[in-house]
């Protein structure tokens, strides 16, 4: 079955990236992906704008995330874009802008959902919490533990618990209010407008290439200039670190 293939791909990637049981922390995932050569770019493009993009130039894979959206949604988007690379070998895709087959979008969502909330992990979590049901408290706990939006948690719980119709009041619940009532941190349900990009890993990779003689000093300086850094200054700082 197609869906189970997607789930298997998500589980495989999870273990390949070194995530065992439990939740995937976004900071940890960021580091792991950067070590694998991904470049990540977070920018507040506005609440009504696209959620993310998967771009590839030669061997460089770039994932763009709109940090105007809530942190929970950003975490999901990151894995959605990862799915486009893993499953669809996509070169240039901006979600909600580049036309794409709806099935691929659904598949990327399902992959993200399985990657962040693996079936067995969710079952274990709800059993440990004695709440194997789809209600506000369980969904909030799953959301907070697995670091996803409330909505993503509701959808995944409904899938895993084989619930065909999600109660209307649950879909309309405010996670910010619920977080306050349950004494959970609201950070996942708010935007953080983060501006971030993987320049550190880019600089370190370039420096390593320079040290190994794979690129010339001229090339290194040019690369630094392209990302808005003074190459001589970067070299001084890095030499000081050695």
User: Where does this chain bind Zn ion (CB under 5 A)?
Assistant: 95, 105, 108
Cβ proximity to Zn ion: between 105 and 190 the closer is: 105
State the nearest-atom distance from the C-beta of 93 to Zn ion, in Å: 6
Cβ proximity to Zn ion: between 65 and 144 the closer is: 65
The residue written with tokens 């070169």 in the block is: 91
Cβ proximity to Zn ion: between 42 and 125 the closer is: 42
Cβ proximity to Zn ion: between 88 and 132 the closer is: 88
State the nearest-atom distance from the C-beta of 12 to Zn ion, in Å: 20
State the nearest-atom distance from the C-beta of 175 to Zn ion, in Å: 23
Can you name the residues that pair with 38 across neighbouring β-strands? 61
State the nearest-atom distance from the C-beta of 9 to Zn ion, in Å: 15
For residue 92, the SS3 value is strand
Cβ proximity to Zn ion: between 10 and 108 the closer is: 108
CA dihedral angle for residue 138, residue 142, residue 148, residue 149, rounded to 10 degrees: 0
- The sign of the dihedral angle between the CA atoms of 77, 80, 85, 88 is negative
**Per residue in 90-127, is it b (16+ CB within 10 Å) or e — as a string?**
beebebeeeebeeeebebbbbbbbbbbbbeebbeebbe
Contact present, 234 and 224 (Cβ < 8 Å)? yes
Q: Which two tokens stand for residue 123?
A: 């079952």
């Amino acid at each position: 079955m197609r869906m189970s293939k997607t789930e298997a791909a998500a589980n495989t990637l999870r273990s390949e990236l070194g995530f065992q049981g439990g939740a995937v922390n976004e900071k940890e995932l960021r580091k792991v992906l950067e070590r694998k050569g991904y470049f990540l770019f977070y920018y507040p493009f506005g609440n009504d704008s696209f959620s993310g993009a998967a771009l590839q130039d030669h061997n460089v894979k770039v994932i763009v995330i709109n940090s105007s959206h809530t942190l929970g949604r950003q975490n999901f988007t990151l894995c959605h874009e990862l799915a486009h690379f893993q499953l669809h070998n996509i070169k240039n895709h901006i979600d909600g802008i580049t036309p794409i087959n709806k099935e691929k979008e659904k598949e990327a969502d399902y992959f993200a959902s399985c990657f962040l909330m693996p079936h067995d992990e969710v079952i274990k979590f709800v059993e440990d919490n004695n709440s194997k049901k789809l209600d506000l408290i369980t969904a909030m706990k799953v959301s907070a533990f697995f670091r996803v939006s409330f909505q993503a948690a509701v959808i995944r719980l409904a899938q895993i618990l084989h619930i065909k119709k999600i109660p209307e009041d649950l879909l309309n619940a405010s996670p910010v209010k619920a977080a306050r009532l349950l004494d959970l941190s609201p950070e996942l349900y708010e935007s953080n407008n983060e501006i971030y990009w993987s320049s550190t890993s880019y600089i370190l990779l370039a420096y390593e290439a320079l040290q190994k003689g794979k690129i010339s000093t001229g090339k290194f300086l040019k690369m630094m200039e392209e990302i808005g850094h003074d190459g001589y200054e970067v070299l001084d700082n890095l030499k000081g670190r050695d």
